Structure 1
Amino acid sequence: MTGAPDSYVWYPVASGSYSAKSGYAAASALSLQTLDQPAALVPVNWKKHVWNVECPPKLKLLIWQALHDALPTGVNLEKRGVANNSTCVHCGAPETTEHLFLHCPFASQAWDLAPLKNPFVSTSYGSFYSALEASTLDICLPPTGCRVNIFFWIVWSLWITRNQLLFESRHISVPETVTKALAGAREWSLAQLKPDNPSESQKERSLPLIPSMPQGTINCNTDAAWNPTSQQACLGWIFTPQESMPLLPFQGSQFQIHVQSALAAEALAVRAALSHAIHLGITSIWIRSDSLELVRAITSVTKPKNLHGILLDIEALSSSLVFCFFSFTPKESNGPADSIAKVSLCNMNSTWAWA
Structure 2
Amino acid sequence: MKKRLWPGDSCCSFCDQPETTQHLMFLCPVSRVVWRTVGSVLGTDCCPNTIWQYYVWMYSFLPGLDKIYTVGLAAICWAIWLARNRATFELKWINSPFEIVFTACAFLMYWAGLQKPEIGKMVKKGAEMLKENTTQMLLLCGPPIPTRDGRDGN
Query: What TM-score comes out, normalization by structure 2 length?
Result: 0.59
Q: Where do residues 89-108 of structure 1 align in structure 2 (5 Å cutoff)?
A: 89-108=13-32
Indicate the structure with greater strand content: 1
Match of 2:45 among 108, 119, 137: 119
Residue of structure 2 in register with 1:177 after alignment: 100
Over 3 Å off, 4+ runs: 117-120, 190-195
Partners of 1:174 and 1:95 lie apart in 2 by 17
Residue of structure 1 in register with 2:121 after alignment: none
Does 1:160 find its partner at 2:82? yes
1:135 is displaced (CA, Å) by 4.1
Residue identity (%): 28
* 2:68 match: secondary structure: coil
Partners of 1:189 and 1:171 lie apart in 2 by 28
Q: Is the 8 A contact 1:148 1:185 kept in 2?
A: no
Higher relative contact order (CA 8 A, sep 6+): 2
* 1:148 match: secondary structure: helix
Which residue identity lines up with residue 105 of structure 1 in the other structure? P
Match of 1:133 among 30, 55, 75: 55
Q: Where do residues 1-355 of structure 1 align in structure 2 (5 Å cutoff)?
A: 72=1, 77=2, 81-83=5-7, 85-114=9-38, 115-122=41-48, 125=49, 128-137=50-59, 138-139=61-62, 148-149=68-69, 150-172=72-94, 173-194=96-117
1:92 is displaced (CA, Å) by 1.2
Indicate the structure with greater helix content: 2
Partners of 1:132 and 1:86 lie apart in 2 by 25
Query: Which is higher, the Rg of structure 1 or of structure 2?
Result: 1
Provide structure 1 residue ranges, at least 5 long, that are not aligned to the other structure.
1-71, 140-146, 196-355
Which residue identity lines up with residue 43 of structure 2 in the other structure? K
In structure 2, relative to structure 1, the CA distance for the partners of 1:176 and 1:117 (3 Å cut) is: same
In structure 2, relative to structure 1, the CA distance for the partners of 1:158 and 1:120 (3 Å cut) is: farther
Partners of 2:57 and 2:105 lie apart in 1 by 15
Which residue identity lines up with residue 100 of structure 1 in the other structure? L
RMSD of aligned C-alpha atoms?
Answer: 2.5
Partners of 1:121 and 1:93 lie apart in 2 by 20
Number of aligned residue pairs: 108
Partners of 1:174 and 1:191 lie apart in 2 by 27
Query: What TM-score comes out, normalization by structure 1 length?
Result: 0.28
Residue of structure 2 in register with 1:220 after alignment: none
Q: Is the 8 A contact 2:30 2:97 kept in 1?
A: yes
Partners of 1:82 and 1:190 lie apart in 2 by 37
Partners of 1:110 and 1:194 lie apart in 2 by 27
Q: Is the 8 A contact 2:47 2:57 kept in 1?
A: no
Q: Is the 8 A contact 1:148 1:189 kept in 2?
A: no
